[in-house]
Every structure is written in structure tokens, then in C-alpha cells.
Amino acid sequence: MKEEKIYFTINGVNMFHGIKPFKIGSIVKLVKEPENDYDSEAIRVELRYAGPSGYVANSVKTVAKGTYSGGRLYDKILDTDYGRIIFILNDSLIAEVLTKDELEKEKNDVDSDINFI
């Protein structure tokens, strides 16, 4: 049985480097922040060479239709997990959670470096 894709919205990029460092196909690292003062289900988004770069959206006003909020995504990912950018909007992005197999393929495509992010 094929796993159903999980899509999520990234926003808050203007608090960091803006939208510019993101590209379609970019791999992002997702890091849970249970100690976050504003949201106990916060998920930080990091880029390989830019570090912290945004957050998974967690508000009805900021989550794109058809995507998971940070709260819905929180229990479906590991403490650290990975995604891939599939759409870039004005100041937010849509990404998909990578499966273990997809992540392994990405690692193999990037010099087999386990710490590629």
C-alpha cells in the first residue's frame, strides 16, 4: 500500500532570510520545538546553508487549504524530519514530508553525506 503524501505550509520566513533562499525541490529540515514560548507544537524549518528559515504554519489564517498545520503534523513526524519544497507563494511555501525511502534517495544523490542538512 502506497503512503499518502503529507503536505504542509511554511511561513514566518520574513523573520529570517525571506523567501529568496528557498527553491523548488529544496530539502528542508523540520525540528520540533516543544519548549517554544508561543506554540508548544512549533516546528522550525531549516535550510542547509541558511539555518533557521521559517516555521510550519499553525494558524487557520496561515495554513494553505489542503495542507497540514504544525499541530496536525507534529505527531506524524520525528523530532527531526525532512521535507521538500514543491510550491513557492508570495511569502509562504508548500512542502511535502519526505518518506524514509525518499530521504535515502536524496542523501545518495548528494554525495552520500548523512548530514546533508
pLDDT tens-digit profile of 45-79?
Answer: 999 999 999 999 999 999 999 999 999 999 999 99
Q: Is 10 exposed, middle or buried (0-12, 13-18, 19+ CB in 10 A)?
A: buried
Per-residue model confidence (pLDDT) at position 33:
96
Q: Which residues contact 36 (CB under 8 A, 6 or more apart)?
A: 42
Q: How many CA atoms lie within 13 A of 89 on its CB side?
A: 14
For residue 114, what pLDDT is reported?
43
The rounded distance, in Å, linking the Cα atoms of 70 and 6 is 12
Among residues 43, 56, 66, 73, the alpha carbon closest in space to that of 12 is found at 56
Q: Which domains does the chain have, with CATH numbers?
A: 7-109 (3.30.70.2330)
pLDDT mean over 32-42: 95
Residue 1 pLDDT exceeds 80: no
pLDDT mean over 91-104: 92
What 8-state DSSP symbol labels residue 116? Answer: -
Per-residue pLDDT for 104 more than 90?
no
The pLDDT value given to residue 13: 96
pTM summary value:
0.88
